[in-house]
Structure 1
Amino acid sequence: MADTELRQRKPQGDDDKPAKKPSAARSKSKADDDDYPPWLDILRVLSFIFVASCGLSYVISGGESFFWGMKNKPNYLRADWWKAQMSGPAYLTLEELSAFDGRDPAKPLYLAINGTIYDVSNGRRMYGPGGSYSVFAGCDAARAYVTGCFAEDRTADMRGVEDMFLPLDDPETDAHWTATEMEKLRAEELEAARDRVHRALTHWVDFFANSKKYHRVGYVKRDKDWLEKLPRRELCAQAQNGRKKRRINEDD
């Protein structure tokens, strides 16, 4: 081994390794990024917003429109609704209220019941011109809600409505009671009839007051003696025809 020179291999370090060349795929990806137009992302975002807007319009309008063109917009999309919220309650005379009967599409649709005015624009199909309940628009027809005489009783005058719940007098039947008993019975019948009128009207008053579809906008402005100025109304034919003869209870 004296004549043989031992050669030790020197391990190659990192400096001795040849530099790695970027792969063709990585180079291509970088080139694609440089050439990617930014407007394409903007176009995608705008397309998504457009489709989402159309879908939201379709849902909110109940299938009426994809482009927010529905005739009966929800309250929060109506300028007059926001105006009413910020301006406070309106006080309208019956003459002023009549201008909001739905014939002018530029105005909201109002009705009143028992002196309180509600915006029923969301129910234009029912309360607007040609609708099944159009007689209630632009007026306070509290009486009609109880009597069912829509055309005849477009008034808030409730005097005499209790008669529709009173039995008809019949001499043959009424002879079953003495005069004193009959007087007491009629007083009880009148009290019960007035209670029925009150409950019938309250039902509709509560319906509008608790409605999520319609909202209160104000009150009817009247003179203090408005009721005394009106002639007393006769009970409408429909309500009158619904009255029955007094019945004799088995316990009597």
Structure 2
Amino acid sequence: MKLVKLLANLGYGSRKEVQRFIKAGAVTDDTGEVLREASNTPHERILFRGEPLDPPSPLVIIMNKPDDYTCSTEDPGDTIYDLLPARFSCRNPGLNPIGRLDKDTTGLLLMTDDGKLLHRIIHPKSNCLKRYHAVLDRPLNGSEGEIFASGEMLLRSEDRPLLPAQLEVLNEKEAIVTLHEGRYHQVRRMFAAVDNHVLTLKRISIGGLALPDDLEEGEWRPLTDAELALVFDHP
């Protein structure tokens, strides 16, 4: 890919802006040699203003989503895109969340510019299980696990039963819920249906990929190939 198109697709500016950056000497290789539009330098060796280029497409990133951030730019307030470099909003193709998290749900969120991968992960046939840590307002009564796993649970205003979900009780007010699907506010609505209320909810894994311990809330990084493969593992 030509240097101007590469930088423009990565969001560093319009093609005209990128051309000006190149003429001004802002784009070099890792030895400091100034690059020109016709340069044929490998992506990993190109620097923009002394910094390595952002990863190329296709890109998958992992984020530890904080509370009070939405996954849609159409919603008011802070969004997950505010946690990324501003130029990421100009990437072509753009980054999209792989399954949204509610504004008040935290934890593991994947984003990608690879549409085929996105649909592969969210498709029910992929069986990418999603695990959530829920802190509840009231103690569990002991019947929730059987109800969640029955395959007969109906949520209000729906006529299709939920797929069986697993409940792992941690203590009287904390539990891990494993879902095989991802309906709107599903975990919160499930507990509401058994007369409880979720105080905090955090997604802790997708498939065999767990939220890294060293990824603080609000932080993100590119996902490695090995980590991506874990998404399709079934623990």
Q: Same fold (TM over 0.5)?
A: no
Q: Which structure has greater strand proportion?
A: 2
Larger radius of gyration: 1
With the shorter chain as reference, the TM-score category is under 0.3
Q: Which structure has greater helix proportion?
A: 1
Q: TM-score, normalised by structure 2?
A: 0.25
